[in-house]
Structure 1
């Protein structure tokens, strides 16, 4: 009776669950087994080490499958393929990767100094290795020139060092490389790098022929302001920053946004961040700035403090740029880093392509920019003794340059101060006449 009952029970189960279908309870258990719980991994980024060779990645465009070949070799007992990396003795950065499958007369060879590696790629890759036991994910950055295209080479035959047109990437122009790098940065870069790429692209648009054509069309519809044109002519002849002669306030006489463009403000934060430190060292800064640090700390309005710090930073970069162009420039001054966007502007404004050093009229223009910014930092009443030392000039020519900017010199407590009355009144330009020889 027991055996008959068991047979009857199995027949009922088979009738309830047709062939190929399982009970819902068993399916739910299998689904739970397949679901993987999230793992908290510790990410560790490994940087390049001078004594170690960074990871090298090779790929086979010919269709050769290294994993399949490895499985076949292990079954036949030939072992894994032979992999070697060669380094040039005279040029250590040149590497060659050679993969030799066992039992084959073909070697797969790749280099980082020819083919796709020379196409000017600026991309960076990363190789990640996850350790299940320690739950650690090690990420190793890989440069674009560490990715090798492994082309087949028959052993014993000679090959030219020059790559064929089919295997070599098309050579890109400098503009194309810059555009590709910019597009890659916009797609995958950080917010700061994207912002920087857009600013550099905007500056480069000045020399773009298409942009120039669009600009010419827009200029045709612009009405010429004769007063502004006269102001520009005076700006060139006097070597002074852009100004507004009809200004009713000192801060409007020399518009600050025309001296320091808005795109440059974000790169002038060094003094402000240094000011946040308890024991900040301003040893490398000009005397003009060091003498005003205590007054700078007393400013309660953070936006105003940040503004003055940026003006000080711009003064520092102007003075350092002037000294870097001198013959007897010190090593510390030459090592001073000026933000690239600011350095690009200084180079276009103050340097001359056919001259190695700054001409006198460009030096006068640079000094005028410095003096105008000192007026802003001192609320348009500045003692010019310390800035004269920073510019390596005596007080008399510095006073004359302030007067040329429309300033008035006053004396208080045996000290001379430069103030800026409005509206601006410039001294008449004296023209030098050569005496006629009789």
Structure 2
């Protein structure tokens, strides 16, 4: 009986395993082109299930939601994924240029589709900036600067795609005469599709006056390229908003200079700009701990801005004048990410002329706070590798006044209140 039981138990284990059929697969990698884009991946952190509904889904979303992808007309790499449940006032939106998608991507993704019938494996890369976190919002109309992506919408017409391809080829390889002709036709088509372009024919004189008034209003409403400020402030301390220039959440990470002074160790002055090195005595003289921490944050932030500016200047222009390496590794991560968002162009990863002026404006404003709004610009001009004369327009743009009683004395920069800015120059229309 025992022998029979053993035979019964061992009988299933002796069955032959099913052999898996090997596939001879040919692999094809698809790249993104003008008429197609890489797949777009979106996920719902709110728990909404677009297929099965669920507790987090809107009550009216019984059918499959509509999915649309919009591409920015001026910046082709900016996409928006919009998922709209049927019959609901809530839609889910994800952007490739803001939020989680704009954070540094540490890995890349690809989507593979295996067709056993044809024994073909197609691998399509998924761009890192096309993984969207879909956040709920009330349904609104799409902004005018966004258009539906041609690679994903069914309404795109082949004729329009061919025409755009011909225009692209002409702009790349065509003669100057053909390029000028295309630009003229584009301008004429824009005017033809714009009904307001014909309004001046009815009343030319009246419209000219309205245009001048509108241009003046536009000049007045143009935001100035300077740090956050209050033009109607009655004291210099309130003219520029220090809480927005240095957020309170970052100040706990900007006490490195103060901690080094409290430790009693001799502070190495090489990594610091000359302006900061020459103002450390103010920290030692202050007795109020709150004022001392505030001043230490300003000096540390000036150091980080200076280091950040040197790094971007040296990366954009490999010059021997920037021999001092920018030690941006010591910049706190939270501060470094904020500076990246504020000053670095997300496409070119460089410092544009406008952002360079804004960054210098931040440094100059903080030096005014450190010196109680009466500062000698010699040190900061040396740090920025500029002269006092070349710094003068930057100070004037901030509403500052540079004065010197006689030629033997140094120039002094003050900040009169209320702020008076130079008039913005407006280009004449031809």
| TM-score scaled by length of structure 1 | 0.46
| TM-score scaled by length of structure 2 | 0.47
Flag the structure with larger Rg. 1
